[in-house]
A and B are shown apart, each in its own frame.
Chain A
């Protein structure tokens, strides 16, 4: 059983107990424990069930590579699935549950799958669920949904109570990894005076060297670490960060860091996670290496653990995995585990070394401690179910004939080490296969390159394939100096402290144990613990033709999900290479993609959530609308009142009331959101003639003209009224959503095509409030305020005038989007509310009321006015909308002119705008299509038109609509069918789109 040793544990504070719970069981650990070490200290070897076969699984690693120890952490609003126990620091009150089992971890029904494993091979899901087709929806999918997934999703109504934030920083050298290599590289770059940031993903500096022993500059590694931290802390140009993982390296020196600020102390104030957005000249990846498991039968039984992890738990946390540990290895490093265990007084019944020639100096040391060492041997299988009870030993060279059984309660395995090359690879760094060490390591000649074409990532220490401590220190100092020079420091020194060097016997690649293992053993030899992929599965995938490593990955699920193959990658592709009969470098690796380990969605969102997810634009009168109880709708980033419902009114009733008031007396609209662009300069007229389809240069000062704007493709993109202010100034109104887009469009043409024209464009949308006073009594309201002549004679339709209304400076445009007598009054934004109040007071005797965007829409539709975005969708040209009158024939050129000459644009069969009236007066469904006789090649009904706008008109007390119909204007009076999604067929007559006041008498008074 696993237990806490009487002494030891460099990271735990035995003076402070910490209470936590696992599956409702109350347990205790020490301050400094990870959840993994605390569970193991309580003999909780089994922490979850595997994904597919629901096999019992225990902790196998001690760091970010852990595939099995995933738990649901927290509850309710704080619940998070798939949290790794090895990277979760213990805190008081921590509560977690294990995953992927039912009804309980100890007794799980799904475990029956393990007996069915012969019938659940690689690609099972792809093969099984194809037929019969109808089974997918009713049988397979519900079943898969119920049994799929590892962790539990939070409740749908749960809301994350924590806060998150971003941190932006620029650096010269960013060092990722706070082991001795990272520290040395940071020292070298820091001493050269550069801005250095050093990130370490765990809560402690020092990495592996402080666990593995060895001396640096004649002192224990820990002394070097302490001295380095103290020196770095004294440098104002160096920034140190613990619990901060280098998550991803991106183009041009952009790096994301993921800082878990208070995961270990949830009650502490401040954000939970912080996303670091770093721009750096150089990145040093000192991310260490990850140990590989060995593939032997039963290597997934709880108690089988990576040799380095067994050592970590003893040295860092004072936790032993078992009293009797068998070590199995193909390299010298695992001997360190045996030696550490022996020195702790624990039993190591045997070291099983797959190499016939055995180990080097460390092996001699182990033998000297009295440990039995067996060379050329292998584990045939591990005995036990929910935990290890023993191992059967065989010859590595054979097929698994058992020579001997050894009782034990833990197995420490080591298949060698793989450099963590993720960050190097994220942005295109290439790898090279190092055959003697059987690993991929960074190819220094093919680094990821930055804006200048030069490499900007350098790997240091174990991440660079340097495992010997002396070599690590030299490599790190060199990396630091190289990065410092690349970042502009000429004074960087490559000097490295002297360190121990241990002569190790070479590793021997062992991808399967024993090398000739039969199919029964191969079906129990796990490659990927998290996704339940075995040696036999990868071999099957190769036989079935999945030769590309990327295909084999997806077919078998090897290296997918949360661990992304940190443990399984190399072993898996070695097996694949062997099955394909090709060398490993030819098979290659799957793509390394950021983030290195999963990061929280909260950190990615940062503070952009809730109210500040997107900024909201408010008009100067917004608060007044709110006070009136307006119902708002989003229009771009604006919020505009849709209608102003009174108590007891539905929205529909409110809209009808507002429309009747406008038609019969007077209403007011907040039109401030309309885009307002000032175009000014000697060439402004010429420029606007290019922008609009109609002529603007000949517009007289003081007059207004409705204009259309097309893209160079010929499609209608915006419309609005243009006013000529003076000889070289025009004011262009755009749609609410179009202001920024049209401004950018104008700038584009001015800067990039006609850059010699003297024109300035300024967006003054937010400088002005605009109020439309609309209805037969509109003039009376303005006259009551007084200050300027607004008579028909002084200010006729389609003209504008400057003046004052009751002491407020205004510009009044006599333009109308409703067909009524209408004044649009522009005023400085700061005066908007004051003028609004005066108009409300003056209009009281006429029953003035505000109206919203829906009333605006209905009013314009009653008049047959088009709306950009309703009648247009990016494929509609002005000619489709019968707007030929607004397309200049005199002008030799304007944007879209040439495009509209293309054959398809001139096609007489283009659908064109008409009005539509249902025969029974009902409202046509929005977006409905008109069907024609016959069917198309896909067996669908032919179409001959569609509805673009449809409303109930309170003025006419019936449904009105506009639509685009084949040969529409030539088919007046014809009745066509619009099948609705409700199963009904709506019959509508083609009519003139102007439904109300066809001669425009009401607006021109």
Chain B
């Protein structure tokens, strides 16, 4: 059972307080997008053994969505940060690099 730090209310939340929301940093494609773009947005997901970025909602707490960088293999959490960003912030990427040198996830490293 994971614990994640909610970057909004500051609570170190138990997994039972949280709702998971799948992969983070998806770029939305709407009308006008090609079939490939739309397929990628709707269906294609990373499935790494290692560094991953996910959406979580503090559903039974402050209700805010936030993003988490963690290791799917060891469950180590590298950092959590507000959802209002399109890419992992530098300090989170640095934290990952310190623990997992040479990591790569989608276009980020």
Measured CB to CB, the residues of A under 8 A from B are 250-254, 279, 428, 449-453, 712-713, 744, 747-748, 751-753, 755, 892-893, 897-899, 901-902
Contacts of B46 in A (CB 8 A): none
* A449-B28 in contact (CB<8A): no
Whether B18 is near chain A, meaning CB under 8 Å from some CB there, is no
* A744, A748, A752, A902, most chain B CB atoms within 10 A: A752
Whether B105 is near chain A, meaning CB under 8 Å from some CB there, is no
Q: Per a CB cutoff under 8 Å, which of B2, B19, B64, B83 touches A252?
A: B2
* A279-B14 in contact (CB<8A): yes
Cα–Cα, bound, A279→B35 (Å): 47
Interface secondary structure of B, over-half rule: loop
Nearest neighbor of B99 in chain A, beta-carbon distance: A453
Nearest neighbor of B65 in chain A, beta-carbon distance: A751
Given contacts A252-B2, A901-B31, 17 further A-B contacts (CB under 8 A): A251-B1, A251-B75, A279-B3, A449-B75, A451-B76, A451-B77, A452-B76, A453-B99, A744-B19, A747-B57, A747-B65, A748-B21, A753-B28, A755-B84, A897-B30, A898-B33, A902-B38
A-B contacts, 27 of them at CB < 8 A, read: A250-B1, A251-B2, A251-B75, A252-B3, A253-B3, A428-B74, A449-B75, A451-B2, A451-B75, A451-B76, A453-B71, A453-B74, A453-B76, A453-B99, A712-B42, A744-B57, A744-B59, A747-B57, A747-B65, A748-B57, A751-B64, A752-B83, A755-B84, A892-B31, A898-B30, A899-B38, A902-B35
Interface residues of B in 51-96 (CB under 8 A from A): 55, 57, 59, 63-65, 71, 74-77, 83-84
Cα–Cα, bound, A753→B84 (Å): 8
Cα–Cα, bound, A712→B28 (Å): 10
Whether B29 is near chain A, meaning CB under 8 Å from some CB there, is yes
Task: Known contacts A252-B3, A898-B31, A899-B42; decide if A752 and B59 are in contact (CB<8 Å).
Answer: no
Count A-B pairs with CB separation below 8 Å: 67
Q: How far is the CB of B60 from chain A (nearest CB, A)?
A: 11
Contacts of A453 in B (CB 8 A): 71, 74, 76, 99
Nearest neighbor of B43 in chain A, beta-carbon distance: A713
Contacts of A751 in B (CB 8 A): 64-65, 83-84
Cα–Cα, bound, A892→B31 (Å): 7
* B83-A755 in contact (CB<8A): yes
Contacts of B55 in A (CB 8 A): 752
Contacts of B29 in A (CB 8 A): 898
Cα–Cα, bound, A929→B109 (Å): 53
Nearest neighbor of A256 in chain B, beta-carbon distance: B1
Contacts of A252 in B (CB 8 A): 1-3, 75
Contact with A along B15-47 (1 / 0, CB 8 A): 000010100000011111101001000100000
Nearest neighbor of A253 in chain B, beta-carbon distance: B3
Contacts of A712 in B (CB 8 A): 42
Contacts of A747 in B (CB 8 A): 57, 63, 65
Ranked nearest first, the 6 interchain pairs of A and B with the lowest CB-CB distance are A453-B76, A755-B84, A254-B1, A751-B65, A451-B77, A893-B30
Q: How far is the CB of A696 from chain B (nearest CB, A)?
A: 18
Cα–Cα, bound, A450→B57 (Å): 21
Contacts of B19 in A (CB 8 A): 744
Contacts of B71 in A (CB 8 A): 453
Cα–Cα, bound, A752→B65 (Å): 7
Cα–Cα, bound, A276→B103 (Å): 38
Cα–Cα, bound, A137→B71 (Å): 47
* A893-B31 in contact (CB<8A): yes
